[in-house]
Structure 1
Amino acid sequence: MAVTDEAIEKIKSMIVSGALRPGDRLPKECELAADLGLSRNSLREAVRALSLVRILDVRQGDGTYVTSLDPRLLLEALAFVMDFHRDDTVPEFLAVRRILEPAATAMAAGRIEAGELDELERRLDALGPRPSVAELVACDLEFHRGIVAAAGNSVLSSLLDGLSGPATRARVWRGLTQQDAVSRTLAEHRAIVAALRDRDPEAARAWATAHVASVEQRLRSAL
């Protein structure tokens, strides 16, 4: 194991074991290096690496702290990495989304507020008949984010946000060349909203599955 990897594992063990908790300040560099049997250089590199993935927060002139370890914060790195995937792997991301998003939509059926549903419909109405790709991406992103957020599971919400952020959705819309792609997608969105208004989790799950599968199928055909 590389020296820096060893340092990362030792700091990770301290956090996992509870020796360091969310919000705790790390001991001074010289003390922590001595306690862990590490060189100060390797400890510094480990801290830098862990700060990049939002495990640690380095505050200039104040010290280094364990972050809140909130799922949204930790999974930001996933969203960043996902933006580097190739266009030909987009269907694979959609396949994973097809597994997770229907479950989140079914969960939302019993929790989403009427006002939130009104807002989803307002966004769909505001698109008009000939939206641009940028407008479609923004609407699609907020539509699905709103539903998944209503499911009340921050880990699931963050995973789905990372799997299908703005960059991925833009690639999907650029790939959907069929003339009826926009109208069909909006019709599927409205069917999902109707199922949510009916507080019918199984119908919501079915429509969400059909929607993502439809996009996936059309995209595979276009590719």
Structure 2
Amino acid sequence: MAVTGEAIATIKAMIVSGELKPGDRLPPEKELSERLGLSRNSLREAVKSLEIIRVLDVRRGDGTYVTSLEPRLLLEALAFVVDLHDDSSVLEIFEVRGVLEPFAAARAALVITEDQLRALSQSIASVDAAAPIESLVEHDLEFHRLISEAGGNAYLSSLIEGMSSATVRARIWRGITQDGATARTLSEHEAIVAALASGDPERAGAAVRSHVEGIDSWLRAAL
């Protein structure tokens, strides 16, 4: 296993250094194993591991390529792990959201465009207090995604989206069991848009923090 780890580290170093770039094809297995001083079996295990986490793309009969290395692609493995959460670990997910999403909103407040603000307002207008819970949850996911994307950090946005999708059950549960959940959510979203429009990062971060912590507090009481 140590030898396989060494092979993974070596391939990673080749990518980090720029020797291998997104879309590049790796040298043939025999050539690469000899160059790295590794057995072909160790190299195969390393390639298999890097394929699982979407760093490499093994194309049968064609060769092995470095993927696009886009944040969304690389964070798929994390999203898979998050999807396996249980009702207690979802509390930990909300704790992490309570740290990351206010930061993302603060970033967004400094650079958000009029078009992006308009998209947020349109998302709010797409649902009302009488809308089905599923529609509210769909809006909520889109609303938070738009904010994180507006901040301009693709890794942060992908990380937040991966965690956010894992809390869908909790959001639906809240919508069904808590009186006024839809109206409260929409009101808080409007306050967040106003904070973003003000260009004040502290105000935007505080508005999102209050929103996420409100859900977290309800969930803790419900559990």
TM-score (norm 1): 0.90
SS at match of 1:183: helix
Given that residues 128 and 182 in structure 2 are in contact (C-alpha distance below 8 angstroms), is that contact kept between their aligned partners in structure 1?
no
1:75 alignment counterpart = 75
SS at match of 1:129: coil
> What stretches of structure 2 of length at least 5 have no aligned partner?
none
SS at match of 1:65: strand
2:98 alignment counterpart = 98
* Percent identity for Structure 1 against Structure 2: 56
2-side partners of 1:200 and 1:140: how far apart? 22
SS at match of 1:149: helix
Match runs of 1:166-177 below 5 Å = 167-175=166-174, 177=177
Given that residues 133 and 170 in structure 1 are in contact (C-alpha distance below 8 angstroms), is that contact kept between their aligned partners in structure 2?
no
1-side partners of 2:9 and 2:119: how far apart? 45
The ranges of structure 1 where at least 4 consecutive aligned residues each deviate by more than 4 angstroms after the TM superposition are: none
> What stretches of structure 1 of length at least 5 have no aligned partner?
none
1:25 alignment counterpart = 25
Cα–Cα, structure 1 residues 41 and 146, in superposed 2: closer, same or farther, change >3 Å?
Answer: same
1-side partners of 2:162 and 2:30: how far apart? 37
Given that residues 174 and 181 in structure 2 are in contact (C-alpha distance below 8 angstroms), is that contact kept between their aligned partners in structure 1?
no
Cα–Cα, structure 1 residues 117 and 18, in superposed 2: closer, same or farther, change >3 Å?
Answer: closer
1:16 alignment counterpart = 16
SS at match of 2:214: helix
Q: CA shift at 1:38, angstroms?
A: 2.7
Q: Deviations over 1:120-153 (max 9, x none)?
A: 2222222122333322221111101101101111
Corresponding letter in the other structure for 2:183: S
Which stretch of the first structure deviates more once superposed, 152-161 or 118-127?
118-127
Matched positions, count: 222
Match runs of 1:52-131 below 5 Å = 52-131=52-131
Given that residues 94 and 212 in structure 2 are in contact (C-alpha distance below 8 angstroms), is that contact kept between their aligned partners in structure 1?
yes
Q: CA shift at 1:100, angstroms?
A: 1.1
2-side partners of 1:204 and 1:14: how far apart? 40
Corresponding letter in the other structure for 1:39: S
Corresponding letter in the other structure for 1:130: A
